[in-house]
Amino acid sequence: MLTNPLLIREMHPDDFDQGLALLQSSFHFTAPSEDRALLREFFQREQRFGVFAEQGLQSQLGILPLDYAYNDHAIPAAAISRVSSWPEYRGQGNIRHLITHALQRLSQQNKGLVLLSPFDIGFYRRYGWELISDYHALHFSPRAIPHRQLTTGRMVKGAPEPAIALALFNASAQDFGAAIVRDEAWWRYLVIPRKSGQAAHWVDAQGHVAGYVLYDVQDVTTPSAYQQLRGQRQLVIHELVYQHEQARRQLWAFIAGFASGVDAIHFTTFADDPLYFELSDRLFSATRHPHLMARIVCLETFVAHYPFVVSQQPLRVVLQVTDADVDGNQGLWALDIQSTGARATRISDDADNRHCIALDIASLTTVLLGYQRPTRLAAMGKIAAAEHDIALLESVIPQSRSYYPEFF
């Protein structure tokens, strides 16, 4: 535990200036005066905890409420955000204590899942988090985009109304097995400020908004090898959302119009984006980046809300779970799965040990969220079980693809 005079406590509105100063130092930005009101609102939306001493705030961490859905099943969840320490207090265990404190709070709130954008993947693995998604960063010439004319409808500069943008995004997110469901506060605090620049949206012939793009034109000061071939000015596409194929094509026709003004396009997207099959640039580059991490907080809550694949007969999967940071998850569990739902029950019957699947909370999280499969982790030694028990676990986990265009 932290020793006096250090103190972990929830941060209050009066702590805003200290918290903002630490964020600006840690994440290398300066908040314009006109943005401070918005940042203060966001500060109050989060539940923030800090490590304090006589000289003030040393380290901080935020718990951000969010709506999370997996195969259309809502799972109680939260996100850890804006973890930061002053340089002189790093490496002293402050963040470890804050994470432990946050997990205790989330467990008490019966949250099934907690997500984060890691600054260090290995660091968070120590506390039970594991990767659940990645994204692809594409660089290509604007001349590589198939030439298309805007045949119907019209492009309108500016973002659509928040309610329309949210409806489009949340509908498109259903194409993936997992999604963070955005609300107006999410759009206001975490999309527009972080994906700043310009926007445009496409309106179809019936007057309905069917897609939008958030983008920016930037001068590149540290170009990649690809950009050195193409020049020093690029179009960065932060987000491209569409309702159907026609809308997708019209948005790309709009983007192709930048060909005379930029030398390269940087586009962040998912692994099987249709654009891969359309680009004509033989030099286009694509890099895969690990992205979000997650960990199960309350196993009982998570299982009760998880969309297991259900067979005609009830099934029981027995797990021996290791979790060094949430005692409530540690131990032998029976997952009883049937058409009416699933339930996790702690058991002690030694007879079930012969058929149990032994794994830690991180491995359990990544397989249930579809980023890895049990067979793969068993081959890596991350899961210990008989072959038929691994096959049973495989059979109840839905096949899924995920993409989260979010940063916390």
Does residue 305 lie within any of the structural domains?
yes
Does residue 167 lie within any of the structural domains?
yes
Q: Which of 290, 315, 331 is the last residue of a domain?
A: 290
Does residue 118 lie within any of the structural domains?
no
Q: Are 136 and 287 in contact (CB under 8 A)?
A: yes
CB neighbour list of residue 278: distance below 8 Å, 6 or more residues apart: 145, 146
Do 286 and 145 sit in the same domain of this protein? yes
Token digits of residue 39: 């940042």
Task: Count helices and strands (H / E) in the chain.
Answer: 12, 20
Q: Domain containing 54: what range?
A: 7-111
Tokens 């199960």 appear where? 296
Tokens 């960065």 appear where? 236
**CA atoms of 359 and 123, how far apart (whole Å):** 19
**DSSP-assigned beta bridge partners for residue 157:** 200
**CA atoms of 321 and 145, how far apart (whole Å):** 49
Q: Strand 341-346 relative to strand 293-296: parallel, antiparallel, unpaired? A: unpaired
Do 102 and 223 sit in the same domain of this protein? no
Does residue 153 lie within any of the structural domains?
yes
Encoded amino acid at 28, one letter: H
Do 178 and 258 sit in the same domain of this protein? yes
Does residue 116 lie within any of the structural domains?
no
Q: Which of 60, 95, 111 is the last residue of a domain?
A: 111
Quick one: pLDDT at residue 230? 47
Token digits of residue 333: 């569990």
As to burial, measured by CB atoms within 10 angstroms (0-12 exposed, 13-18 middle, 19+ buried), residue 339 is exposed
Do 168 and 227 sit in the same domain of this protein? yes
218: closest CA among 276, 178, 258? 258
Do 158 and 273 sit in the same domain of this protein? yes
Do 278 and 308 sit in the same domain of this protein? no
**DSSP-assigned beta bridge partners for residue 113:** 77, 296
Q: Which domain CATH number covers 318? A: 3.30.1050.10
Does residue 99 lie within any of the structural domains?
yes
Quick one: pLDDT at residue 381? 97
Does residue 117 lie within any of the structural domains?
no
Do 164 and 216 sit in the same domain of this protein? yes
Give the count of domains, the chain.
3
**CA atoms of 339 and 211, how far apart (whole Å):** 37
Kindly report the CA angle at 256 between 210 and 269, in degrees rounded to 5? 65
Quick one: pLDDT at residue 353? 62
Peptide bond into 5 cis (omega under 30): yes
Q: What is the pLDDT of residues 108-160, one digit of tens each?
A: 999 999 999 998 999 999 999 999 999 999 999 888 998 877 778 999 999 99
Q: Which of 290, 312, 338 is the last residue of a domain?
A: 290
**CA atoms of 212 and 239, how far apart (whole Å):** 8
pTM (predicted TM-score): 0.91
Do 283 and 140 sit in the same domain of this protein? yes
Does residue 221 lie within any of the structural domains?
yes
Do 48 and 29 sit in the same domain of this protein? yes
Quick one: pLDDT at residue 254? 94
Do 30 and 148 sit in the same domain of this protein? no
Average pLDDT of adjacent 10-residue blocks, the chain of 408 residues: 71 94 89 84 90 93 93 94 92 94 96 95 97 95 83 90 95 90 88 88 95 92 52 88 95 91 92 91 87 97 96 93 96 95 88 80 98 97 96 95 87
Do 140 and 282 sit in the same domain of this protein? yes
Do 324 and 357 sit in the same domain of this protein? yes
Q: Which domain CATH number covers 28? A: 3.40.630.30
| Helix 36-45 vs helix 16-27: crossing angle, to nearest 10 | 100
**Computed from CA positions of residues 158, 161, 162, 165, in that sequence, does the dihedral angle turn out positive or negative?**
negative
